[in-house]
Amino acid sequence: MTDEESENTKQENGPETVGETLRAARERHNLELQAVADQLHLRPSIIRAIEEGDYQSMPGELFLKGYVRSYARLTEQDGDDLVMRLDRELAPLRREEQQKEPSTTEIIQLRKERRRRVVGTLIALVAALIVGWVLLFYGPWIADETGDLIDETGEQGAEQGESPAATEPDGDTSDEDAGSTPASEEAEPEGPEGDASTESSPTSMAPVPVVDAPEERGQQQTNESSPRETSALETVSLVISFNDACWVEVVNGEGERVIVTLAEAGRDIEYEGPGPLEVLLGNVDAVAGIRFKGEPIDLEDYPVRAGRTQFVLGASNGTS
């Protein structure tokens, strides 16, 4: 089949896909698939999936567009035109995904929420069973002990109420004292002293007011006067240098996505704002260097999957 016949066949079958265009450009430049993967710092399987139009195996639409743009630059193609065509090719896939079941992330979140509800229900049931068991086995004993304590308190109060009446002299005794010899009258002055001693006893039984200890008062004043703790986000700086194309996302300490871009070779990305910073790099090999708060960061300290990494700088348990 001649070239003209192949071109006529392509026109009859419809326009080329983005993957077919890139494959044809690669073949015109006499580049092997492995060579393209090495120059783009990607796995050969990713290059093959792009050329075959297997977009569902890509890590995400943003990464896919970045890979296509880099591939187009390598093969001297119009990257903007290819990305626009790719967006049209992805439209049916988006509609299919909307009609499908929830994503894996959503399913995991739903399972976590369901697990939390089940655990909360089990905890409530166990607590109810424990309370019911305690009331069933110890409820009568607690009621009896409480009733006995109330009865004893009532009896003690009744005895204390009857004791003053027992000390009062009888009427006959007072009459006998009235008709007794003058010696008994001479003994009457001792009465006031006895009365005084009797009257002084209630004073000694007066309740003593409770005064807080100085340490407790000082503690209460310290707790009341202590100002509320305020926390402020630390302003940090970040500089990333690149020797090849790389997708970059940065989220600051206020939860704002401050950087979302495809960095090109020889370009530096700088940011200064509230930390900590959550950084996502789509092509680790394209990063020439990272400086956080003026200090270099070693990317070997963070895990890399499929050429991408994600980490936090400036967290309490991370890089300070």
DSSP string over 161-195: HHHHHHHSPPHHHHHHHHTS-HHHHHTTTHHHHHH
Among 170-174, 222-226, 246-250, which stretch is predicted with the lowest mean pLDDT?
222-226
pLDDT at 130: 93
Residue that wins the pLDDT comparison between 93 and 239: 239
Is the pLDDT at 202 greater than 60? The verdict is no
Average pLDDT, stretch 235-259?
93
> What are the tens digits of pLDDT across the range 67-97?
998 988 998 888 888 899 888 888 887 787 7
Position 28: which residue type?
Answer: R
> What are the tens digits of pLDDT across the range 45-69?
998 988 888 888 888 888 888 999 8
pLDDT at 259: 94
> What are the tens digits of pLDDT across the range 128-172?
999 988 888 777 777 777 777 787 777 776 777 665 544 454 544
Interatomic CA distance for residues 47 and 53, integer angstroms: 10
Position 214: which residue type?
Answer: P
Residue that wins the pLDDT comparison between 272 and 189: 272
Interatomic CA distance for residues 272 and 235, integer angstroms: 7
Domain 3-99, CATH: 1.10.260.40
Residue that wins the pLDDT comparison between 218 and 136: 136
pLDDT at 139: 76
Position 168: which residue type?
Answer: E
Q: Which two tokens stand for residue 208?
A: 């003593």
Per-residue DSSP letters for 236-297? EEEEEEESS-EEEEEE-TTS-EEEEEEEPTT-EEEEEEES-EEEEES-GGGEEEEEETTEE-
Residue that wins the pLDDT comparison between 137 and 36: 36
- Find out whether the peptide bond into 276 is cis, omega within 30 degrees of 0: yes
Is the pLDDT at 227 greater than 80? The verdict is no
pLDDT at 279: 94
> Candidates 2.60.40, 3.90.1070, 3.30.43, 2.40.50; correct CATH number of 235-313?
2.60.40
Q: String of b and e for 205-236 (b: at least 16 CB within 10 Å)? A: eeeeeeeeeeeeeeeeeeeeeeeeeeeeeeeb
Q: Where along the chain do its domains lie?
A: 3-99, 102-158, 235-313
Task: Kindly indicate the confidence band of residue 297, based on its pLDDT and cuts at 50, 70 and 90.
Answer: very high
pLDDT at 164: 53
Asked if 298 and 313 count as a contact pair (C-beta separation under 8 A), the reply is no
pLDDT at 127: 94
Among 19-23, 95-99, 144-148, 217-221, which stretch is predicted with the lowest mean pLDDT?
217-221
Is the pLDDT at 224 greater than 50? The verdict is no
Instruction: Work out the angle at residue 145's Cα, subtended by the Cα atoms of residues 143 and 149, and round it to the nearest 5 degrees.
Output: 115
Average pLDDT, stretch 291-310?
91
User: 3-state class of 41 per DSSP?
Assistant: coil
Q: Does the pTM of the predicted model rise above 0.95?
A: no
